[in-house]
Amino acid sequence: MTLIGVAIQGQPSARAEAKVGGVAESSAWTFRNHVQPVLAKTGCSSGACHGAAGGQGGFKLSLRGYDDDGDFRAITRSALGRRVNLHDPAYSLLLLKPTAAVPHKGAQRFTTNSIEYRILSQWIAAGTPGPKADDPRIANLRIIPETVSLRPGMTQAFTVRARFTDGAEQDVTRWVKYTDANSAVTLVDDAGNVKVQGYGEGAITAWYLSRLAIARVVVPFTNAVDAQVFVAAPRRNFIDDLVLEKLEELRLPPSPRCSDEEFIRRAFLDTMGVLPTREEARQFLDSKDPKKRDRVIDALLARPEFVDYWTYKWSDLLLVNGDRLRPSAMWSYYHWIRSRVAANQPWDAFVRDIVTARGSTLENGAANFYALHDDPTSMAETVTQAFLGMSINCAKCHNHPMEKWTNDEYFGFANLFARVRAKSGAADGDRIIFASAEGDIAQPLRGRPQAPKPLDAPPIDIRATADRRGSVAEWLTSPKNPYFTRSIVNRLWANFYGIGLVENVDDLRVTNPASNEKLLSAAAKFLADEGYDLKRLMRAILQSETYQRSSKPLKENAGENRFYSRYYPRRLNGEVMLDAFSQVTDVPTDFQIDLRNANAGLGQKYPPGLRALQLPDTRVFSYFLKTFGRPEREKTCECERSSEPSMAQALHLANGDAINKKLASEKSVASRIARDAAPAGRIVEEAYLSALSRMPSETERQRMVESLESAAPAERRARVEDIYWALLSSREFLFNH
């Protein structure tokens, strides 16, 4: 018997007797479940060592041991089997190199008295038994504790247990690879010990034998917030309930409601990418209707500018690109998307029509989705990125190191698109998309096709002749498919709240958990229950008190940027900003087709008055849009759009054509005001309402009125231009807040 004691700071200690047995018994180490974890944990099969694409020093292993058979051959058969010595295991290179008994570029990985050495040496001594078909396979991985609340400076040790198909359960804490999702909150070492760095919420990922487990570490802020603050906080719907629940857990008080001036500008920009006109702003601000915010929300969702904005958003996602499509096909694709947005087609039907698209790319614009992709793997990768918000690309070469998807699953999914074919039609740019009754792609590692299989779903008969994309669409858009609904919810959430529940929005992997998992799940259920009507979720978001909070931080919530205690200001997208300049100055932008694009073919300019958000293609010559991060639509990834500030942006706002040339135009608002000889006070009010959707403060009004009234007649227009330039280049204008 062994006496075991447990003591926790501030708690009574406890003791118990435990019987320990079987210590002297030798273990039967298996290649699959023991040797491979050693090689993965010590870094031998990592991407920086022998798991690299070309291996190291003539010795190549699969990344983190995803290919048991191949790794077994590499260790025991390649190089004439010199890496293992069955007669004297201690002289095996597999032991001499990592213990640094002989020179090793990878340095010492373990010592001769370690458990790693014992496993490898005893496995060699047993004759290097290879992986067997009846080896127990890992069925489940669990990290303990799954949730823990700590304070900065504290440490926490985690335990990881694996359950196998033969019913056995093992403590595998030593062999797990650990990562942390938010190093500002937690840091984890190789042994699974976590040190708390800061406040908020972190996640610890445990990886073992291609299985993942996640633990949540909650570190509440030190604010002394009365519970009544959260009880009394206004709530409109489930969004507010779950956000406030999280804020209470973290002791983060919510900011108060935003002003009417903030709300109308914010709602217009987030919903349809345009500013309210000065008349719309004045009417809203003057209204005493207690339901005026709801009325504005309903009106925005029905506006034609809403269709422009979301058509542009989905065109980014679906790569409407004039460099890769002929003009007629590009317009067909764009008009197809636009017609679906205008009809408010449910998202599941929208995606189903794309995934199963066939026929002429000129008659069925959705078919261009396949005209843009020339092989099954690129089709599979774009479908998962666009509609599931996840990248499976890494699994093309090996098991995904940060996800649960295996190399076999990747090629099973890609094989669903192996029979998509295209042929040329009669007209320029016309491609005919159809499904063949035969054809498969081989899995390179196996040398044969994988059974066509949706991710996390049963495979379909590889001999069946029906269009496999029907099975893809059925699985993809099913309410039971959590990835599909969560992905579109997260994209909408990021559009309205400035930051997704999962960041980045197309990185919904297991190792990148949501900042509020309950809220993401509830919003996904809401959307599915509402028949994938995106406007219904948008309305719930816009009506929520969470969305309508002020962007001004409180002292207690100024340090957080993930849990929606306030609205997060963000810079306007380039297209929105350019359209806003045009709207306020009354001078539209002339968009010229980039003549370097060999497929342009539609003349040099788009029609006058076209807004940036109405452009069907990003291939237009615009230094401003390029400077402010417009995506090229070459890959389905939010990373294509840049919101990073730069010196070029600052210089362009100060000295470029975007503002100055428009204000100098004879058609500009400055020219009109100069001709009308309006009173100085009205000019200032009009400028503020047009640009900032608010009235000027008394100080602002006084200074600007004095500037205008002191100007000589010949200087009056220049002073008006200065006022507008100051507003249009201000932080308040350039940011949504």
Residue 666, pLDDT > 70, answer yes
Residue 602 is predicted with a pLDDT of 46
The tens digit of pLDDT for each residue in 4-51 reads 665 555 566 667 676 655 544 556 899 999 999 999 999 998 888 998
Q: Where are the domains of the chain?
A: 31-125, 138-219, 346-476, 574-736
| Cβ-contact 547, 496 below 8 angstroms | yes
Q: Place 640 in a pLDDT band, splitting at 50, 70 and 90.
A: confident
13-27, 59-73, 236-250, 362-376, range with the lowest pLDDT: 13-27
Q: Are 607 and 584 in contact (CB under 8 A)?
A: no
What is the rounded CA–CA span in Å between residue 585 and residue 370? 42
Q: Rounded to whole angstroms, how far apart are CA atoms 583 and 669?
A: 10
Nearest to 90 by CA among 192, 257, 98: 98
User: Per-residue pLDDT for 402 more than 90?
Assistant: no
**Does the pLDDT of residue 270 top 90, yes or no?**
yes
Q: Which amino acid belongs to residue 595?
A: L
Of 3.40.50.300, 2.60.40.1080, 2.30.40.10, 3.90.1150.10, the CATH number of 138-219 is 2.60.40.1080
Nearest to 732 by CA among 706, 681, 682, 697: 697
592: buried, middle or exposed (CB in 10 Å: 19+, 13-18, 0-12)? Answer: middle
Give the residue among 113, 129, 108, 110 at the shortest CA–CA distance from 175.
110
DSSP secondary structure string, 503-532?
SSTT---TTS--SSHHHHHHHHHHHHHTTT
Residue with tokens 């690109």, as numbered in its chain? 321
Give the amino acid at 147: T
> Does residue 344 or residue 637 have the better pLDDT?
344
Per-residue pLDDT reduced to its tens digit, 524-535: 999 999 999 999
Q: How far apart are the first and last CA of the chain?
A: 66
Per-residue model confidence (pLDDT) at position 9: 55
- Relative to beta strand 147-149, strand 211-219 is parallel
Window from 34-43, 258-267, 335-344, 400-409 with minimum mean pLDDT? 400-409
Q: Which helix (H) or strand (E) holds 468?
A: none
Question: Pairing state of beta strands 2-6 and 420-424?
Answer: unpaired
531 CB-near residues (< 8 Å, 6+ apart): 346
Q: How confident is the model at residue 79 (pLDDT cuts 50, 70, 90)?
A: confident
- pLDDT tens column, 328-373: 999 999 999 999 999 999 999 999 999 999 999 999 999 999 999 8
Mean pLDDT of the region 563-575 = 96
Q: Averaged over 93-113, what is the pLDDT?
A: 92
Q: What is the pLDDT of residue 538?
A: 98
Q: Which ranges of 424-516 would DSSP assign to H, the alpha helix? A: 469-476, 482-497
Counting residues of the chain whose pLDDT is more than 90, the rounded percentage is 69
Mean local confidence (pLDDT), 159-188: 93
Alpha helix ranges (H) inside 273-375: 278-286, 292-301, 304-318, 327-342, 347-355, 368-371
Mean pLDDT on 686-697: 97
Global pTM reads 0.90
Phi/psi region, residue 95 (left: phi>0; alpha: psi -120 to 50; beta: rest), is alpha
Handedness of CA 167, 168, 170, 176 (dihedral sign): negative
Listed residue (417, 298, 297, 401) closest to 354, CA to CA: 417
Q: Answer whether residue 483 shows pLDDT above 50.
A: yes
Give pLDDT tens digits for 599-617. 544 446 788 889 999 999 8
Number of Cβ atoms within 10 Å of the Cβ of 719:
19
- CA of 345: how far to CAs of 366, 384, 532, in Å? 14, 21, 9
Question: Phi/psi of residue 169, each to 5°?
Answer: -125, 135
Separation of alpha carbons 649 and 642, rounded Å: 12
Nearest one of 578, 585, 582, 580 to 721, comparing CA atoms = 585
Least confident of 89-98, 341-350, 616-625: 616-625
Give me the residues paired with residue 570 across strands: 736
Question: 551 φ, ψ to 5°?
Answer: -85, -5
